[in-house]
Amino acid sequence: MTRPSLLHPFAKPAADAASYLPIVRGDGARVWDAAGNEYVDALASLWYCQVGHGRDSIVDAIAAQARTLAAFHTFERFTNEPADRLADLLCDPAVAPMPDPRVFLTSGGSEAVDSAIKLARVAHFVAGDTTRTLVISRSPSYHGVTLGAVTLTGLPLNRAGFGPLVGDVTQVPWDDLDAVDEVLAHSGDRVAAIVAEPVVGAGGVLPPPPGYLEGLRRRCDDTGAFLIADEVICGFGRLGDWFASRRYGVEPDLATFAKGVTSGYQPVGGVFVGPAVRGRLEADPAFVLRHGHTYSGHPTACAAAIANVGILRDEDLAARADGIGARLAAGLATAAGDDLVVDVRGAGAVWAAELRAGVDAVAVRDEMLTLGVIARPLGAGVVAFCPPLVIGDAEIDRCVDAFGGAVRAVAARN
C-alpha cells in the first residue's frame, strides 16, 4: 500500500494512493481523468463551477493580471483596481442581495463565514451593545471548516474530535421558527445574529419552508439581531437569481459568498456588509477594523471573478437554473423506480434524491462513476446534483440515466 504525499480533505488518511481519481481536463459540463475517461460533472466540481470548465476568457484575465500585478495586499491604505472593480460589480443594485452594501473579500467560504460572525459581533460592540455575542445557527447545515464556521455547522460528524469550538453559538432545527423563538425568549438581548443558508446545501439540499426566511427576518428586526444569509452555495445564479435572498424576497444584513463568484477558477470569497452593519462600523472615524486575510482582495483572483461575473451576466446563465432543475428533478423522480427513491427535492439548479433505507449513497456515487457521471453523496442516504449552468439537456439526461442505473445496481447487491 502506498499513501500519497497529499493529505486529502474529507477523505480517509489511510487510503491507498491508487484509490484516488486524478482529474486532468475539463470543458463545459464535462471532465476527464488521467486514463481518458469522460464524466459529466454533475456537481459543478464542488457546488461552484457555474460557467463550466475551460473558459478561455477567465484564463486570459488571470494571465493578464498576473503579468501586470500578480499580488499585493489591501490592508490599511492599499488597494488595487481588480479588487475595487469587483466590489463595484457586486454592489450593483441589480446584483447585490441587499441595498447599498460594501464587500469584504476573503479567499473562500469558510473565511467568509468566520468574517461574518466577527463583523456581526463587532458591529454590536462598537454601538455599545457589548453583550450581543450569541449566534443562532441551524441543524442540519453546512457553513465551512474553520473553527468558527464548523461551530455553526449543524453536522455532528464534522465537529467531532476537534475539541472545544467557538463559544456563544446555539443550534436549532433548520425548519423550526418556534425553536428560534425559544432562544430569543431567554437570550434575545444577547443574540448578535441568526445564520441560515437560504437552501441548506451539504446538509441535505433542503429548501426553506414557505415563510420561513421571512420569519427569520422579522425576528431579527424585532430583537435587533442581524440576519446572515450564507449564500456560498446558493449565490451567483444557482437558484435563478444572483442570490437566493433575492429569489425569496428577503434582505439579509450580511451575506457570505464564494464558490460561484469565480466558478472556482481562483479562490475568492467574501461578505456583503449591509447598511445596518456598515453604518455602525463607519460611525466612529477612529475605529479600525482589525480583521482581514493576506489574500483579501488578491488582484489575480479578483480578475478571475470579474471575468466570471461578466460571463454570468452576458450569457444570462441564472435564467437557465430553473429549467435545468425541472428537467433534473423530473428525471430523478422516475429514474430508479418508486420504491428506491423516497424524495426528490431542491430549488433552481441544485437538487438531491433521498434513497430508500439500505441503499448506500456512497456506493451509488461509485457506481455512477463507472457510468461516466460525478455526483456527490451527502451522508449515507442522499445523492446531490448541482451541475454547471451551461449543462445541456443530453448531459442532464445522462446524469439521470446513470443515477437510475446506479441505484438499481446497488439495490440489487443488497
Going by C-alpha positions, the residue among 320, 85, 328 that lies closest to residue 205 is 328
Beta-carbon count within 10 A of 199 CB:
24
To which residue does cell 470543458 refer?
27
How much is the pLDDT for 48? 98
Chain CA centroid to CA 343, Å: 22
For the stretch 346-372, pLDDT in tens is: 999 999 999 999 999 999 999 999 999
Closest CA to 260 of 375, 90, 397: 90
3-state secondary structure of 169: strand
Q: What is the mean pLDDT of the chain?
A: 97
For residue 336, what pLDDT is reported?
82
Q: What is the pLDDT of residue 337?
A: 80
The residue-averaged pLDDT of 202-229 equals 98
Cα four-point dihedral sign 72, 75, 79, 80: positive
60-90 residue pLDDT tens: 999 999 999 999 999 999 999 999 999 999 9
Taking only the tens place, the pLDDT of each residue in 159-182 is 999 999 999 999 999 999 999 999
The pLDDT of residue 414: 82
42 in Cβ contact with 364 (< 8 Å):
no
Q: Tell me the average pLDDT across 92-115.
A: 98
Dihedral pair phi/psi, residue 306, rounded to 5°: -60, -45
CA distances in angstroms from 69 to 73, 181, 223, 301, listed in the order given: 11, 50, 46, 11
pTM of the predicted structure, to 2 decimals = 0.97
